[in-house]
Amino acid sequence: MDSAALRQEAKSGACPDAYRAVRALSVALAAPLSDADATIQSMPDASPAKWHLAHSAWFFETFVLRDHVAGYRLFDAEWPFLFNSYYEAEGARHPRAERGLLSRPSLEEVLAYRAHVDAAMERVLDRPELAGLIALGLAHEQQHQELLLTDIKHALSCNPLGPAYAPAAPRFRQGGDGWREHPGGIALVGHRGGGFAFDNEGPAHRVLLEPFALAERLVTNREWDAFIADGGYATPALWLFDGWAWVRQHGVAAPLYWREGEHFTLAGWQARDPAAPVAHISYYEAEAFAAWAGCRLPTEFEWETLAAGEDPAAGNQLDVCAAVAPTGTAALFGDCWQWTRSAYLPYPRYRPAAGAVGEYNGKFMNGQYVLKGASCATPRGHSRAGYRNFFYPHQRWQFTGLRLARDL
Protein backbone atom coordinates (compact mmCIF):
# COMPACT_ATOMS: atom_id res chain seq x y z
CA MET A 1 0.00 0.00 0.00
CA ASP A 2 1.35 3.44 -0.82
CA SER A 3 1.91 6.04 1.85
CA ALA A 4 -1.03 8.16 0.63
CA ALA A 5 -3.38 5.22 1.17
CA LEU A 6 -1.90 4.60 4.59
CA ARG A 7 -2.53 8.23 5.54
CA GLN A 8 -6.07 8.03 4.20
CA GLU A 9 -6.83 5.07 6.43
CA ALA A 10 -5.13 6.71 9.36
CA LYS A 11 -7.63 9.55 9.45
CA SER A 12 -10.40 7.29 10.59
CA GLY A 13 -8.66 4.52 12.49
CA ALA A 14 -9.38 0.83 12.03
CA CYS A 15 -12.87 -0.33 12.80
CA PRO A 16 -12.72 -2.87 15.65
CA ASP A 17 -15.96 -4.46 14.48
CA ALA A 18 -14.52 -4.99 11.00
CA TYR A 19 -11.44 -6.62 12.51
CA ARG A 20 -13.50 -8.98 14.63
CA ALA A 21 -15.88 -9.85 11.79
CA VAL A 22 -13.13 -10.69 9.31
CA ARG A 23 -11.16 -12.72 11.83
CA ALA A 24 -14.28 -14.60 12.94
CA LEU A 25 -15.22 -15.53 9.37
CA SER A 26 -11.86 -17.25 8.88
CA VAL A 27 -12.48 -19.44 11.91
CA ALA A 28 -16.04 -20.12 10.77
CA LEU A 29 -14.81 -21.23 7.34
CA ALA A 30 -12.60 -23.82 9.03
CA ALA A 31 -15.38 -25.12 11.26
CA PRO A 32 -16.50 -27.92 8.88
CA LEU A 33 -12.93 -29.25 8.66
CA SER A 34 -11.24 -31.92 10.74
CA ASP A 35 -7.59 -31.50 11.68
CA ALA A 36 -6.78 -33.90 8.81
CA ASP A 37 -8.89 -31.90 6.32
CA ALA A 38 -7.16 -28.72 7.42
CA THR A 39 -3.66 -30.22 7.07
CA ILE A 40 -3.64 -31.70 3.57
CA GLN A 41 -2.21 -29.93 0.51
CA SER A 42 -3.31 -31.25 -2.88
CA MET A 43 -0.88 -29.29 -5.10
CA PRO A 44 1.86 -26.65 -4.75
CA ASP A 45 -0.49 -23.82 -5.76
CA ALA A 46 -2.90 -24.67 -2.94
CA SER A 47 -2.24 -24.40 0.78
CA PRO A 48 -3.73 -26.28 3.73
CA ALA A 49 -6.61 -24.54 5.50
CA LYS A 50 -4.57 -24.66 8.71
CA TRP A 51 -1.74 -22.83 6.99
CA HIS A 52 -4.12 -20.08 5.77
CA LEU A 53 -5.38 -19.60 9.32
CA ALA A 54 -1.87 -19.38 10.74
CA HIS A 55 -0.38 -17.28 7.93
CA SER A 56 -3.07 -14.60 8.19
CA ALA A 57 -2.36 -14.40 11.93
CA TRP A 58 1.39 -14.26 11.22
CA PHE A 59 0.75 -11.22 8.99
CA PHE A 60 -0.76 -9.27 11.89
CA GLU A 61 1.76 -10.59 14.37
CA THR A 62 4.69 -9.59 12.17
CA PHE A 63 3.75 -6.34 10.50
CA VAL A 64 1.63 -4.84 13.28
CA LEU A 65 2.49 -6.40 16.66
CA ARG A 66 6.18 -7.23 16.29
CA ASP A 67 7.03 -4.08 14.37
CA HIS A 68 4.88 -1.53 16.20
CA VAL A 69 3.88 -2.74 19.67
CA ALA A 70 6.53 -2.45 22.35
CA GLY A 71 6.82 -5.50 24.53
CA TYR A 72 4.84 -7.84 22.28
CA ARG A 73 6.13 -11.40 22.51
CA LEU A 74 5.79 -13.82 19.62
CA PHE A 75 3.42 -16.70 20.26
CA ASP A 76 6.19 -19.07 19.19
CA ALA A 77 9.55 -17.85 17.89
CA GLU A 78 9.83 -20.82 15.50
CA TRP A 79 6.49 -20.36 13.78
CA PRO A 80 7.35 -17.41 11.51
CA PHE A 81 9.57 -19.84 9.57
CA LEU A 82 6.48 -21.97 8.94
CA PHE A 83 3.98 -19.25 8.12
CA ASN A 84 5.87 -16.60 6.16
CA SER A 85 4.61 -16.98 2.59
CA TYR A 86 6.94 -15.20 0.20
CA TYR A 87 8.42 -12.18 2.00
CA GLU A 88 12.15 -12.26 1.30
CA ALA A 89 12.63 -9.38 3.73
CA GLU A 90 11.36 -11.70 6.48
CA GLY A 91 14.03 -14.28 5.78
CA ALA A 92 14.05 -18.03 5.13
CA ARG A 93 10.82 -20.00 5.19
CA HIS A 94 9.35 -23.47 4.86
CA PRO A 95 8.96 -24.53 1.18
CA ARG A 96 5.56 -23.68 -0.25
CA ALA A 97 5.06 -27.10 -1.83
CA GLU A 98 5.64 -28.80 1.55
CA ARG A 99 3.06 -26.99 3.65
CA GLY A 100 0.97 -30.15 3.69
CA LEU A 101 3.71 -31.90 5.69
CA LEU A 102 3.05 -29.68 8.70
CA SER A 103 0.99 -32.08 10.78
CA ARG A 104 2.20 -30.05 13.77
CA PRO A 105 1.22 -27.55 15.00
CA SER A 106 -2.30 -28.93 15.22
CA LEU A 107 -5.41 -27.08 14.13
CA GLU A 108 -6.20 -26.50 17.79
CA GLU A 109 -2.78 -24.92 18.36
CA VAL A 110 -3.22 -22.71 15.31
CA LEU A 111 -6.56 -21.52 16.65
CA ALA A 112 -4.83 -20.72 19.95
CA TYR A 113 -2.24 -18.73 17.97
CA ARG A 114 -5.04 -16.73 16.38
CA ALA A 115 -6.59 -16.03 19.78
CA HIS A 116 -3.20 -14.87 21.11
CA VAL A 117 -2.80 -12.46 18.19
CA ASP A 118 -6.40 -11.24 18.50
CA ALA A 119 -5.97 -10.46 22.19
CA ALA A 120 -2.90 -8.34 21.44
CA MET A 121 -4.59 -6.69 18.45
CA GLU A 122 -7.59 -5.66 20.55
CA ARG A 123 -5.30 -3.31 22.46
CA VAL A 124 -4.13 -1.45 19.33
CA LEU A 125 -7.20 -1.35 17.05
CA ASP A 126 -7.83 2.29 17.94
CA ARG A 127 -4.30 3.50 17.18
CA PRO A 128 -4.62 5.73 14.08
CA GLU A 129 -1.04 5.23 12.97
CA LEU A 130 -1.70 1.49 12.62
CA ALA A 131 -5.01 1.80 10.78
CA GLY A 132 -3.50 1.48 7.31
CA LEU A 133 -1.56 -1.67 8.18
CA ILE A 134 -4.58 -3.19 9.90
CA ALA A 135 -6.73 -2.49 6.84
CA LEU A 136 -4.08 -4.18 4.72
CA GLY A 137 -4.03 -7.15 7.10
CA LEU A 138 -7.81 -7.51 6.88
CA ALA A 139 -7.87 -7.29 3.07
CA HIS A 140 -5.04 -9.83 3.07
CA GLU A 141 -6.99 -12.16 5.34
CA GLN A 142 -10.05 -11.89 3.07
CA GLN A 143 -7.91 -12.99 0.15
CA HIS A 144 -6.87 -16.02 2.16
CA GLN A 145 -10.51 -16.77 3.03
CA GLU A 146 -11.21 -17.16 -0.67
CA LEU A 147 -8.09 -19.27 -1.10
CA LEU A 148 -9.07 -21.44 1.86
CA LEU A 149 -12.32 -22.31 0.06
CA THR A 150 -10.81 -22.89 -3.37
CA ASP A 151 -7.90 -24.86 -1.92
CA ILE A 152 -10.07 -27.17 0.18
CA LYS A 153 -12.35 -27.65 -2.83
CA HIS A 154 -9.35 -28.87 -4.81
CA ALA A 155 -8.19 -31.11 -1.98
CA LEU A 156 -11.63 -32.68 -1.51
CA SER A 157 -11.97 -33.18 -5.27
CA CYS A 158 -8.92 -35.44 -5.12
CA ASN A 159 -10.71 -37.81 -2.73
CA PRO A 160 -12.48 -40.61 -4.66
CA LEU A 161 -15.35 -40.40 -2.17
CA GLY A 162 -16.07 -36.84 -3.34
CA PRO A 163 -16.76 -35.48 0.14
CA ALA A 164 -18.73 -32.30 0.65
CA TYR A 165 -17.32 -29.32 2.53
CA ALA A 166 -20.81 -28.08 3.43
CA PRO A 167 -24.41 -28.28 2.18
CA ALA A 168 -25.21 -26.48 -1.08
CA ALA A 169 -25.78 -22.71 -0.88
CA PRO A 170 -28.97 -20.97 -2.11
CA ARG A 171 -29.26 -19.92 -5.76
CA PHE A 172 -29.47 -16.46 -7.26
CA ARG A 173 -31.15 -15.37 -10.46
CA GLN A 174 -29.52 -15.16 -13.87
CA GLY A 175 -28.82 -11.85 -15.59
CA GLY A 176 -30.04 -10.68 -19.00
CA ASP A 177 -28.78 -11.69 -22.43
CA GLY A 178 -27.99 -8.21 -23.74
CA TRP A 179 -24.88 -6.10 -24.07
CA ARG A 180 -23.79 -2.97 -22.27
CA GLU A 181 -22.34 -0.53 -24.74
CA HIS A 182 -19.77 2.20 -24.18
CA PRO A 183 -18.94 4.93 -26.71
CA GLY A 184 -15.24 4.97 -25.88
CA GLY A 185 -13.12 8.01 -25.08
CA ILE A 186 -10.58 8.97 -22.43
CA ALA A 187 -11.33 7.22 -19.14
CA LEU A 188 -9.78 7.71 -15.71
CA VAL A 189 -8.95 4.37 -14.11
CA GLY A 190 -7.25 3.27 -10.91
CA HIS A 191 -7.64 4.16 -7.25
CA ARG A 192 -8.45 7.83 -6.66
CA GLY A 193 -8.30 7.80 -2.85
CA GLY A 194 -11.10 7.35 -0.38
CA GLY A 195 -11.11 3.99 1.32
CA PHE A 196 -8.71 1.11 1.18
CA ALA A 197 -7.06 -0.12 -2.00
CA PHE A 198 -4.04 -2.32 -2.67
CA ASP A 199 -1.00 -0.54 -4.05
CA ASN A 200 -1.40 -2.28 -7.42
CA GLU A 201 -4.67 -0.36 -8.00
CA GLY A 202 -2.92 2.97 -8.37
CA PRO A 203 -1.93 5.55 -9.29
CA ALA A 204 -5.06 6.70 -11.11
CA HIS A 205 -4.33 7.49 -14.74
CA ARG A 206 -5.97 8.05 -18.11
CA VAL A 207 -6.53 5.41 -20.78
CA LEU A 208 -8.04 5.60 -24.24
CA LEU A 209 -11.01 3.33 -24.91
CA GLU A 210 -12.39 2.52 -28.35
CA PRO A 211 -16.17 1.90 -28.54
CA PHE A 212 -16.94 -1.51 -27.07
CA ALA A 213 -19.67 -3.68 -25.59
CA LEU A 214 -19.60 -5.99 -22.57
CA ALA A 215 -22.02 -8.89 -22.10
CA GLU A 216 -24.62 -8.51 -19.38
CA ARG A 217 -23.95 -11.96 -18.02
CA LEU A 218 -21.20 -14.52 -17.75
CA VAL A 219 -20.76 -17.39 -20.19
CA THR A 220 -22.79 -20.36 -18.98
CA ASN A 221 -22.27 -24.10 -18.64
CA ARG A 222 -24.74 -24.62 -21.49
CA GLU A 223 -22.67 -22.45 -23.79
CA TRP A 224 -19.53 -24.24 -22.74
CA ASP A 225 -21.14 -27.59 -23.57
CA ALA A 226 -21.85 -26.21 -27.06
CA PHE A 227 -18.20 -25.15 -27.38
CA ILE A 228 -17.10 -28.69 -26.49
CA ALA A 229 -19.65 -30.29 -28.80
CA ASP A 230 -18.38 -28.11 -31.63
CA GLY A 231 -14.85 -29.42 -31.15
CA GLY A 232 -13.57 -26.41 -29.25
CA TYR A 233 -10.83 -28.35 -27.49
CA ALA A 234 -9.78 -30.05 -30.74
CA THR A 235 -9.51 -27.00 -33.01
CA PRO A 236 -6.03 -25.47 -32.80
CA ALA A 237 -7.07 -22.39 -34.80
CA LEU A 238 -9.10 -21.21 -31.80
CA TRP A 239 -6.20 -21.33 -29.39
CA LEU A 240 -3.21 -19.18 -28.56
CA PHE A 241 0.08 -20.96 -29.23
CA ASP A 242 0.77 -21.44 -25.52
CA GLY A 243 -2.85 -22.41 -24.90
CA TRP A 244 -2.82 -25.14 -27.52
CA ALA A 245 0.44 -26.51 -26.11
CA TRP A 246 -1.20 -26.56 -22.66
CA VAL A 247 -4.26 -28.41 -24.00
CA ARG A 248 -2.08 -31.00 -25.68
CA GLN A 249 0.35 -31.45 -22.81
CA HIS A 250 -2.34 -31.94 -20.19
CA GLY A 251 -5.06 -33.55 -22.30
CA VAL A 252 -7.52 -30.80 -21.36
CA ALA A 253 -11.02 -31.37 -22.74
CA ALA A 254 -13.30 -29.53 -20.28
CA PRO A 255 -13.18 -27.06 -17.40
CA LEU A 256 -11.61 -28.24 -14.15
CA TYR A 257 -13.90 -30.44 -12.02
CA TRP A 258 -16.14 -31.57 -14.93
CA ARG A 259 -17.11 -35.19 -15.56
CA GLU A 260 -19.95 -35.96 -17.97
CA GLY A 261 -23.02 -34.04 -16.73
CA GLU A 262 -21.60 -33.37 -13.27
CA HIS A 263 -19.03 -31.14 -11.68
CA PHE A 264 -17.31 -31.19 -8.32
CA THR A 265 -18.49 -28.48 -5.97
CA LEU A 266 -18.01 -27.60 -2.32
CA ALA A 267 -21.19 -29.64 -1.82
CA GLY A 268 -19.58 -32.67 -3.51
CA TRP A 269 -20.38 -33.99 -6.99
CA GLN A 270 -23.49 -32.28 -8.37
CA ALA A 271 -25.39 -32.14 -11.64
CA ARG A 272 -24.32 -29.05 -13.58
CA ASP A 273 -26.87 -26.26 -13.86
CA PRO A 274 -26.83 -25.35 -17.58
CA ALA A 275 -27.82 -21.75 -16.84
CA ALA A 276 -25.13 -21.18 -14.20
CA PRO A 277 -21.89 -19.45 -15.14
CA VAL A 278 -19.06 -21.72 -16.19
CA ALA A 279 -16.24 -21.68 -13.66
CA HIS A 280 -12.71 -23.03 -13.28
CA ILE A 281 -11.47 -22.13 -16.74
CA SER A 282 -7.96 -20.97 -17.57
CA TYR A 283 -7.09 -17.80 -19.45
CA TYR A 284 -6.28 -20.02 -22.42
CA GLU A 285 -9.74 -21.57 -22.36
CA ALA A 286 -11.40 -18.17 -22.00
CA GLU A 287 -9.47 -16.89 -25.02
CA ALA A 288 -10.37 -19.93 -27.12
CA PHE A 289 -14.05 -19.72 -26.23
CA ALA A 290 -14.16 -16.00 -27.05
CA ALA A 291 -12.57 -16.71 -30.43
CA TRP A 292 -15.12 -19.47 -31.07
CA ALA A 293 -17.95 -17.07 -30.12
CA GLY A 294 -16.67 -14.35 -32.46
CA CYS A 295 -15.91 -12.08 -29.51
CA ARG A 296 -12.93 -11.26 -27.32
CA LEU A 297 -12.02 -10.79 -23.68
CA PRO A 298 -12.50 -7.30 -22.23
CA THR A 299 -9.52 -5.23 -21.20
CA GLU A 300 -9.28 -4.47 -17.50
CA PHE A 301 -9.92 -0.80 -18.30
CA GLU A 302 -13.11 -1.49 -20.25
CA TRP A 303 -14.39 -3.60 -17.39
CA GLU A 304 -13.45 -1.06 -14.72
CA THR A 305 -15.03 1.82 -16.65
CA LEU A 306 -18.37 0.05 -16.91
CA ALA A 307 -18.20 -1.12 -13.31
CA ALA A 308 -17.43 2.30 -11.86
CA GLY A 309 -21.10 3.05 -11.21
CA GLU A 310 -21.97 -0.42 -9.93
CA ASP A 311 -22.31 -1.65 -6.37
CA PRO A 312 -19.24 -3.85 -5.79
CA ALA A 313 -20.98 -5.54 -2.87
CA ALA A 314 -23.87 -6.79 -5.04
CA GLY A 315 -24.20 -10.23 -6.56
CA ASN A 316 -23.29 -13.72 -5.43
CA GLN A 317 -20.40 -13.28 -2.98
CA LEU A 318 -19.31 -14.87 0.28
CA ASP A 319 -21.24 -13.95 3.44
CA VAL A 320 -21.07 -16.98 5.70
CA CYS A 321 -19.55 -20.43 5.75
CA ALA A 322 -21.36 -22.33 2.96
CA ALA A 323 -20.73 -24.44 -0.12
CA VAL A 324 -20.65 -21.38 -2.35
CA ALA A 325 -20.99 -21.85 -6.12
CA PRO A 326 -21.58 -19.63 -9.16
CA THR A 327 -25.30 -19.55 -9.83
CA GLY A 328 -25.85 -16.47 -12.03
CA THR A 329 -26.81 -12.92 -11.15
CA ALA A 330 -27.39 -9.66 -13.01
CA ALA A 331 -24.48 -8.02 -11.16
CA LEU A 332 -21.08 -7.30 -12.70
CA PHE A 333 -19.55 -8.52 -9.44
CA GLY A 334 -19.86 -11.99 -7.98
CA ASP A 335 -20.15 -15.60 -9.18
CA CYS A 336 -16.75 -15.78 -10.95
CA TRP A 337 -13.64 -13.68 -11.36
CA GLN A 338 -13.54 -12.62 -14.98
CA TRP A 339 -10.45 -13.01 -17.12
CA THR A 340 -9.37 -9.91 -19.00
CA ARG A 341 -6.87 -9.70 -21.86
CA SER A 342 -4.82 -7.22 -19.83
CA ALA A 343 -1.39 -8.30 -18.70
CA TYR A 344 -0.83 -7.68 -14.99
CA LEU A 345 1.58 -4.76 -15.17
CA PRO A 346 2.37 -1.75 -12.99
CA TYR A 347 0.35 1.38 -13.68
CA PRO A 348 2.24 4.50 -14.79
CA ARG A 349 4.24 5.96 -11.86
CA TYR A 350 3.59 2.91 -9.66
CA ARG A 351 6.08 2.45 -6.83
CA PRO A 352 5.93 -0.43 -4.34
CA ALA A 353 5.79 0.58 -0.69
CA ALA A 354 9.02 0.53 1.29
CA GLY A 355 9.83 -2.50 3.41
CA ALA A 356 8.43 -6.01 3.45
CA VAL A 357 4.82 -5.01 2.65
CA GLY A 358 6.18 -3.64 -0.64
CA GLU A 359 6.55 -7.30 -1.66
CA TYR A 360 2.79 -7.76 -1.46
CA ASN A 361 1.96 -7.12 -5.13
CA GLY A 362 4.69 -5.51 -7.17
CA LYS A 363 7.01 -8.46 -7.54
CA PHE A 364 4.25 -10.52 -9.17
CA MET A 365 3.79 -8.15 -12.12
CA ASN A 366 5.17 -10.61 -14.63
CA GLY A 367 3.53 -13.27 -16.81
CA GLN A 368 0.06 -13.03 -15.26
CA TYR A 369 -3.32 -11.67 -16.38
CA VAL A 370 -5.75 -9.39 -14.58
CA LEU A 371 -9.13 -10.71 -13.46
CA LYS A 372 -11.94 -8.34 -12.52
CA GLY A 373 -15.06 -8.51 -10.38
CA ALA A 374 -15.40 -10.95 -7.52
CA SER A 375 -16.43 -14.57 -7.10
CA CYS A 376 -18.91 -16.50 -4.99
CA ALA A 377 -15.97 -17.14 -2.65
CA THR A 378 -14.91 -13.50 -2.35
CA PRO A 379 -15.95 -12.02 1.00
CA ARG A 380 -18.61 -9.42 0.28
CA GLY A 381 -17.14 -5.93 0.62
CA HIS A 382 -13.64 -7.02 -0.37
CA SER A 383 -13.67 -6.09 -4.05
CA ARG A 384 -14.30 -2.88 -6.01
CA ALA A 385 -14.22 -1.63 -9.61
CA GLY A 386 -10.51 -0.90 -9.48
CA TYR A 387 -9.57 -4.24 -7.86
CA ARG A 388 -6.96 -6.19 -9.78
CA ASN A 389 -6.87 -9.92 -9.16
CA PHE A 390 -4.19 -11.82 -11.06
CA PHE A 391 -3.27 -15.36 -11.95
CA TYR A 392 -1.08 -17.22 -14.42
CA PRO A 393 -2.83 -18.12 -17.67
CA HIS A 394 -2.91 -21.87 -17.01
CA GLN A 395 -4.35 -21.63 -13.48
CA ARG A 396 -8.00 -22.52 -12.98
CA TRP A 397 -8.60 -23.75 -9.46
CA GLN A 398 -10.06 -20.37 -8.51
CA PHE A 399 -13.66 -19.54 -9.43
CA THR A 400 -12.60 -18.10 -12.78
CA GLY A 401 -15.11 -17.40 -15.55
CA LEU A 402 -15.70 -15.31 -18.62
CA ARG A 403 -17.71 -12.25 -19.61
CA LEU A 404 -17.46 -11.65 -23.36
CA ALA A 405 -16.64 -8.30 -24.96
CA ARG A 406 -16.71 -7.08 -28.54
CA ASP A 407 -15.73 -4.03 -30.57
CA LEU A 408 -18.36 -1.56 -31.77
Nearer to Fe ion, 8 or 85 (CB): 85
Q: Which helix (H) or strand (E) holds 188?
A: strand 185-189
Nearer to Fe ion, 246 or 390 (CB): 390
User: Closest approach of Cβ 319 to Fe ion, in Å?
Assistant: 22
Nearest residue to 272 (alpha-carbon basis) of 224, 234, 228: 224
Interacting residue ranges for Fe ion, rule: CB under 5 A = 85
Per-position b or e across 366-404, b if 16+ CB within 10 A of its CB? eebbbbbbbbbbbbbbbbbbbbbbbbebbbbbbbbbbbb
Nearer to Fe ion, 142 or 340 (CB): 142
User: Closest approach of Cβ 55 to Fe ion, in Å?
Assistant: 6
Spatial separation of the C-alpha atoms in residues 73 and 149, rounded to whole Å = 31
C-alpha radius of gyration, the chain, whole number? 21
Nearer to Fe ion, 85 or 361 (CB): 85
Number of H helices, E strands in the chain: 12, 12
User: Closest approach of Cβ 251 to Fe ion, in Å?
Assistant: 32
- Whether the Cβ atoms of residue 6 and residue 132 lie closer than 8 Å to each other: yes
Spatial separation of the C-alpha atoms in residues 257 and 389, rounded to whole Å = 22
Spatial separation of the C-alpha atoms in residues 80 and 91, rounded to whole Å = 9
The torsion region of residue 88 among left (phi > 0), alpha (psi -120 to 50) and beta comes to alpha
Nearest residue to 145 (alpha-carbon basis) of 315, 23, 14: 23
User: Closest approach of Cβ 85 to Fe ion, in Å?
Assistant: 5
Nearer to Fe ion, 42 or 85 (CB): 85
Nearer to Fe ion, 57 or 215 (CB): 57
Nearer to Fe ion, 196 or 212 (CB): 196
Nearer to Fe ion, 60 or 264 (CB): 60
Nearest residue to 306 (alpha-carbon basis) of 405, 206, 398, 195: 405
Is beta strand 400-401 parallel, antiparallel or unpaired with respect to 337-343? parallel
Nearer to Fe ion, 288 or 357 (CB): 357
Compute the residue count for the chain. 408
Nearest residue to 381 (alpha-carbon basis) of 330, 331, 334: 334
Nearer to Fe ion, 59 or 337 (CB): 59
User: Closest approach of Cβ 62 to Fe ion, in Å?
Assistant: 11
Beta strands in 227-335 (DSSP E): 258-259, 262-265, 268-271
DSSP, res 89: G
Nearest residue to 338 (alpha-carbon basis) of 281, 395, 384, 291: 281
User: Closest approach of Cβ 338 to Fe ion, in Å?
Assistant: 23
Nearest residue to 384 (alpha-carbon basis) of 324, 317, 297: 317
> How far does CA 84 lie from the centroid of its chain?
19
User: Closest approach of Cβ 311 to Fe ion, in Å?
Assistant: 27
